[in-house]
């Protein structure tokens, strides 16, 4: 099983880069996005980058067979739209607000100028793109070799990583920060709503998770982490 410990960052994209964040914001436009509003569509020109200040955004695409596939869920403090601006190509995914959002949008040319001015920021962008490429690679690997239970646990752990800043936090229950529907979970792990429902029930019976409405709590995150490394 692949090591997922590299997911644990728990930090804002601009962590320890206050000057870079100030310059980014000064060159950006603040946008307030309503729930379910589209931010960009697959095939649109990739000419801007986004920094999410509040809310949650799903990055997804529609398969040739009409099935929705959720690739990422972006949370506060994260950037998105990076790859298309750096690679100068059209959007390969669509982005939609799951909740009301506040985000900063910066045009590609201004972003390139910012990267030339701040080499540390450029290095962080490269590292982030590499991390996301690795995530996508592991997702493909999981779809091919992992069962639904493993894929679901990996997803819940990866989402929870956003709020984990210290390894000691793995020894106590962690609330999954996203309230996803079972349909959304299924779209992220290549399964069906019914199978996700059955798997969640089984994980609850095994004492690994607790479910209250749409809220999921990892009761034994360290044990789950160890299981995923087997």
Q: Where are the domains of the chain?
A: 5-138, 147-229
138 closest CA partner among 228, 46, 36: 228
Range from 25-34, 89-98, 129-138 carrying the lowest mean pLDDT = 129-138
The Cα–Cα gap between 116 and 35 comes to 35
Cα–Cα distances (Å) from 132 to 54, 110, 128, 163, in that order, read 21, 23, 6, 18
Cα–Cα distances (Å) from 193 to 1, 80, 127, 181, 186, in that order, read 25, 27, 34, 9, 6
pLDDT of residue 97: 96
pTM of the model: 0.77
Tokens of 16: 């320890």
pLDDT of residue 69: 84
Mean pLDDT in the chain? 86
- 227 confidence band (pLDDT: 50, 70, 90): confident
Strands 29-33 and 101-107 come out as antiparallel
Q: Which helix (H) or strand (E) holds 33?
A: strand 29-33
pLDDT of residue 7: 45
Let me know if domain 147-229 sits in CATH 1.10.20.60: no
The Cα–Cα gap between 75 and 52 comes to 7
Cα–Cα distances (Å) from 108 to 72, 80, 169, 206, in that order, read 22, 12, 38, 48
* pLDDT of 3 higher than 60: no
pLDDT 10s digits, 30-77: 999 999 999 999 999 999 999 999 999 999 988 887 878 888 889 899
pLDDT 10s digits, 76-115: 999 999 999 998 999 999 999 999 999 999 999 999 999 9
- Where do we find the tokens 């999410």? 52
* pLDDT of 26 higher than 90: yes
pLDDT 10s digits, 173-182: 888 877 788 9
pLDDT of residue 146: 80
Provide the CA 44 distance to its chain's centre, in angstroms.
Answer: 21
When pLDDT is averaged across residues 152-173 and rounded to a whole number, the result is: 76
- 5-138: CATH topology: Jelly Rolls (2.60.120)
Provide the CA 196 distance to its chain's centre, in angstroms.
Answer: 19
pLDDT of residue 171: 81
Helices 108-117 and 119-145 cross at an angle (nearest 10°) of: 110
95, 49 Cβ separation under 8 angstroms: no
pLDDT of residue 68: 82
The Cα–Cα gap between 82 and 59 comes to 12
């Amino acid at each position: 099983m692949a090591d997922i410990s590299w997911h644990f960052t728990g930090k804002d994209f601009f962590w320890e880069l206050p000057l870079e964040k100030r310059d980014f914001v000064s060159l950006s436009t603040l946008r307030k996005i309503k729930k379910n509003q589209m931010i960009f569509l697959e095939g649109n020109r990739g000419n801007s980058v986004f920094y999410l200040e509040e809310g949650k955004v799903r990055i997804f695409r529609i398969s040739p067979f009409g099935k929705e596939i959720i690739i990422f869920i972006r949370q506060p403090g994260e950037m998105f739209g990076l790859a298309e601006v750096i690679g100068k190509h059209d959007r390969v995914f669509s982005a939609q607000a799951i909740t009301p959002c506040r985000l900063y949008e910066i045009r590609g040319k201004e972003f390139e100028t910012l990267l030339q001015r701040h080499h540390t920021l450029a290095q962080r962008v490269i590292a982030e793109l590499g991390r996301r490429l690795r995530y996508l690679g592991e997702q493909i690997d999981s779809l091919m070799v992992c069962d639904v239970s493993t894929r679901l646990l990996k997803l819940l752990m990866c989402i929870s990583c956003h709020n984990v800043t210290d390894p000691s936090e793995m020894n106590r229950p962690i609330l999954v920060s996203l309230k996803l529907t079972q349909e959304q979970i299924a779209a992220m792990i290549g399964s069906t709503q019914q199978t996700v429902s059955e798997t969640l029930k089984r994980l609850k019976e095994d004492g690994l998770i607790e479910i209250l409405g749409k809220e999921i709590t990892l009761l034994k995150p360290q044990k789950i982490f160890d299981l995923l490394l087997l």
